[in-house]
Amino acid sequence: MKKVLVLGCAGSGKSTFSTRLGHLTGLSVIHLDSFYWKAGWIAATEEEWDQTIEELLNHDGYIMDGNYSRTLDKRLIDADVVFFFDFPRLLCIYRAIKRRILNHGRTREDMAAGCKEKIDLEFLRWIWNFRSRSRGKILETLDQVKEQKQVIIFRTTKEVKEYLALMESTRGNACAGE
């Protein structure tokens, strides 16, 4: 495990998992949200984003957390392991609301400076529509690369906990199943 992608709906637990996996493996964690957003929730332009992705992919090893479907194919070429959090929408909405409450008035560690935690109807709609808008495309793409990449799909929190416990017991020396 050298170059890892972590995909899934907002609120699914990607960032928390990535951080924990980073501690276990020693790989640096790249939270794409912290590179895409600028202070005040200003999005990067396509040109800026493409350049940023190119620079990030040049790292020797990483855990890269975030969807950003327009650049997914490029990131998949580089990755050797992909985790996909395929969780129910209500769980993701609950976690996003909980995260908003717990981080009120603060900027999370996995976000860009000046992007204080917020939640609005547009974001809740984005979460609600993730399954119909993005899930199928992601699963199809992962199906196409599963012979070349290790693809792990989590459908429950229990599966995530079990995977991390296995990694902890092996101290991150090898990816489960290798």
The single-letter DSSP state of residue 45 is: P
Which pLDDT does position 101 carry in this prediction?
A: 87
Q: Supply φ then ψ for residue 139, to 5 degrees.
A: -60, -40
Which pLDDT does position 170 carry in this prediction?
A: 83
Q: Is the pLDDT of residue 173 over 60?
A: no
The helix-helix angle for 89-102 and 121-130 (nearest 10°) equals 150
pTM over 0.95: no
Which pLDDT does position 150 carry in this prediction?
A: 96
Query: Does an H or E element contain 43, and which?
Result: strand 42-43
Q: How many CB atoms lie within 10 A of CB 85?
A: 22
Which pLDDT does position 124 carry in this prediction?
A: 93
pLDDT digits (tens, 9 = 90+) for 94-128: 999 998 888 777 777 777 777 788 888 999 999 99
Q: Who contacts 93 (Cβ-Cβ below 8 Å, separation ≥6)?
A: 11, 124, 127, 128
pLDDT digits (tens, 9 = 90+) for 138-154: 999 999 999 999 999 99
Distance between CA atoms of residues 147 and 56, nearest Å: 24
Torsion angle of C-alpha atoms 71, 75, 81, 82, degrees rounded to 10: 0
Distance between CA atoms of residues 29 and 140, nearest Å: 26
pLDDT digits (tens, 9 = 90+) for 22-78: 999 999 999 999 999 998 889 999 999 999 999 999 999 999 999 899 999 999 998
